[in-house]
Amino acid sequence: MTTTPSGDQNHTFRRYEDDDHDVDAWDEVIFQAGWSHKCPTYINKTPPCQGSCPSGHDIRGWLQIVRQLEKPTGDMDWQRYAFNRATDANPFPSMMGRVCPAPCEDGCNRNQVEDFVGINAVEQFIGDYAIEHGFEFEKCETTSDKKIAIIGGGPAGLAAAFQLRKLGHACTIFDDHEELGGMMRYGIPSYRTPRDTLDGEIQRIINMGVDVKLKTRVGKDVPMDDVEKEFDAIIWALGAKSGRPLPVPGADAPNCLSGVAFLEAFNEKRLQIVAKKVVVVGGGDTSIDVVSVARRLGHITEVHEKDSTENVVLGFTAHDVASTVVREGSTVTLTSLFPIENMTAAEHEVEDALREGVSIKGSVMPLEVMLDSEGRATGLRCCECTLDGNRPVATEGTEFTIEADIIVSAIGQSGDLTGLESMDNGHGFINSDKFYQVPDKPGHFLAGDIVRPHLLTTAIGQAAIAVESVQAYLDDQELSKRPKVDVHHFDLLHKLSEWNLSPEEHEAGESRGTSEENFAVHNYDDRSAAEIIPHDDLFLGHYEETPRHKRDTIAISSEEVLGNFTERLVGYEEAAAIEEAGRCMSCGMCFECDNCVIFCPQDAVKKTPKAQSTTGRYVYTDYSRCIGCHICADVCPTGYINMGLGE
């Protein structure tokens, strides 16, 4: 029996069809009469949400806590426990819950049932609750005599400081801005990353004992040699603040700007109006932010030359009277090499931009910036195109011109390595090995967009690995191979210790039949560092179709967008967060459904006594009764039970 849920996906509710009697492979012939060479063992694997997350969140773990399944010890409330688990890998749950494009949701096995779990929304709830209730990270004592310099105070630099302080190392962040936050503050509009929330998440890290030197640029204000002498290691987290110009004639016109410079001017409150006709070239998240900001700012009819958009963006002046004059909406056009449906920007952001009055032209390539007699851009000559891989191929006879007062390029970024030329690999980035070390420069490490521009959560994940590499360097240890599945894994021994259930010390001597002994963790295998559990290892028929709790959004129309800087996302209330977390299928980990206990014909699978039970230890097997019939594995929804162990 099969059913086809929404989304035209096939959801198989039975592992076997009627009259299936033959076994497909010899290694599936697992029992004969009263004996078996395969009995159930409990296998922890990494769920695909976590495997898809660049920062390696223990997503399954904190969803289990929010749904009230995994309990904290002592008098800690579940909200604090969920916050602790969520921030172990990523200290910015409020920010990431808002702006991360959520590759975890794309990987979610629940997509095979009906719709992914709203991971971002639950994460935002955890983060916002923590801000509202003043949660702090543990104040870490400096137990090390080592000092680490962090160059850059964006998500990578701050995440590195967070991880270093947990290890007891002193660290100092150098940043050339007036405030910390990097791309979270200067590259994303404030209506997407509310500043009070961002400030709270940053301050929590600084309160761990991080030293900060603002408006200080290494390579200019402080020589790199001085930093190398003062600190035992350096983590380069400079970001990629230099925008790439359009690769067409005329792109050096004064009113051709980069997307990162445009957004930085807006976020510093220098840019308060734009030109009447704005053309943006891109298709990614940065380009969507530029067009959305431009629609909100609008233009004024009379503009002094000093108040032109390019003069403000380039830092020659700043708007100071724009709020006192009447503004009108700007005509804003976005062009992309990709078809609109294939643009790399988040789908909901594209939908919002269209609703807000942005014109988007997909499958279009720029040919030339049209100039007036003074060398200023007046339009962008384009044509339709197809893609050969990532290379655009012009379609002859489709040329057209889009009129423009400013043209913004959001097609790529690189680092600003002025004064640090010795670090430049020739492309505006710093070379890195797989451990985020700078090759041939001992003591130098890096993370974030200076490696290659990617997601904020990628920068955060790289920072954690870089800190592990720093620790190995300080300990004079050779770095070993990184795990195949390189995430923050669930640790059963840590969980048992948390509940005072750790195995006893093992006394030397021969021992057989250890299921009666307490020095071992029985019938358990942790494969999370090597395997991600796919949907076809699950018993999907166990899960009912349950609609996702979608976050409310404030839909802003083109008539309402001018001057509207209201946050568009409306976070969950507590009940919705709990219910949405309850949709998690707990892939690769027992969630106490009791199927194996109920369906075992031999009464061999039993519930662990409550005093000994915790996550990963809800059930056990009496192997004296087990005949290896594999029913428990067939009815396990999460794929946690595998047949193994031997006779």
Judge whether 147-241+418-474 and 252-414 match in fold: yes
- The pLDDT of residue 630 is 85
Furthest-apart CA atoms within the chain: distance in Å: 93
Average pLDDT by consecutive 10-residue portion of the chain (647 residues)?
Answer: 43 63 58 63 94 95 96 93 96 96 94 95 98 93 94 98 97 97 95 95 97 96 96 97 95 95 93 94 96 94 68 67 68 97 92 96 97 96 94 96 97 93 94 96 97 94 97 94 91 89 76 67 88 93 93 93 93 97 96 94 91 89 84 93 72
* Pairing state between β 406-409 and 277-282: parallel
- The pLDDT of residue 5 is 44
pTM exceeding 0.75: yes
CATH superfamily of 252-414: FAD/NAD(P)-binding domain (3.50.50.60)
Angle at 269 between CA 190 and CA 154, to 5 degrees: 55
- The pLDDT of residue 3 is 38
Helix axes 119-132, 78-87, angle to 10 degrees: 110
- The pLDDT of residue 6 is 44
* Domain segments of the chain as ranges: 2-133+490-644, 147-241+418-474, 252-414
Do residues 553 and 120 make contact, with C-beta atoms less than 8 angstroms apart? no
Contacts of 193 by beta carbon, 8 Å cutoff, 6+ apart: 95, 98, 99, 184, 185
Residue 294 in tokens: 């431009």
Quick check: helix, strand or coil at residue 569?
A: strand
Helix axes 285-297, 259-267, angle to 10 degrees: 50
CA-to-CA distance for 360 and 481, rounded, in angstroms? Answer: 45
CA distance to 62, 170, 213, 230, 624, per residue, from 234 (Å): 32, 12, 15, 10, 58
Quick check: helix, strand or coil at residue 467?
A: helix
- The pLDDT of residue 267 is 94
Q: Please count the other Cβ atoms lying within 10 Å of the Cβ belonging to residue 352.
A: 19
Sign of CA dihedral 478, 481, 483, 486: positive
b vs e for 496-519, b when ≥16 Cβ sit within 10 Å of the residue's Cβ?
beeeebeeeeeeeeeeeeeeeeee
Sign of CA dihedral 441, 447, 450, 453: positive
Q: Please count the other Cβ atoms lying within 10 Å of the Cβ belonging to residue 19.
A: 6
Residue 411 in tokens: 């097609």
Sign of CA dihedral 401, 407, 410, 412: positive
The letter for the amino acid at 292 is S
3-state SS, one letter per residue, for 375-444: CCEEEEEEEEEEEECCEEEECCCCCEEEECCEEEECCCEECCCCCCHHHCCCCCCCCCCCCCECCCCCCE
Judged by phi (left if over 0) then psi (alpha if -120 to 50, else beta), residue 605 lies in beta
- The pLDDT of residue 291 is 97
Q: Please count the other Cβ atoms lying within 10 Å of the Cβ belonging to residue 565.
A: 13
Residue 590 in tokens: 């027992």
Contacts of 81 by beta carbon, 8 Å cutoff, 6+ apart: 65, 70, 71, 72
Q: Write the DSSP symbol of residue 554.
A: -
Classify domain 147-241+418-474 at the CATH topology level. FAD/NAD(P)-binding domain (3.50.50)
- The pLDDT of residue 26 is 53
Q: Please count the other Cβ atoms lying within 10 Å of the Cβ belonging to residue 481.
A: 7
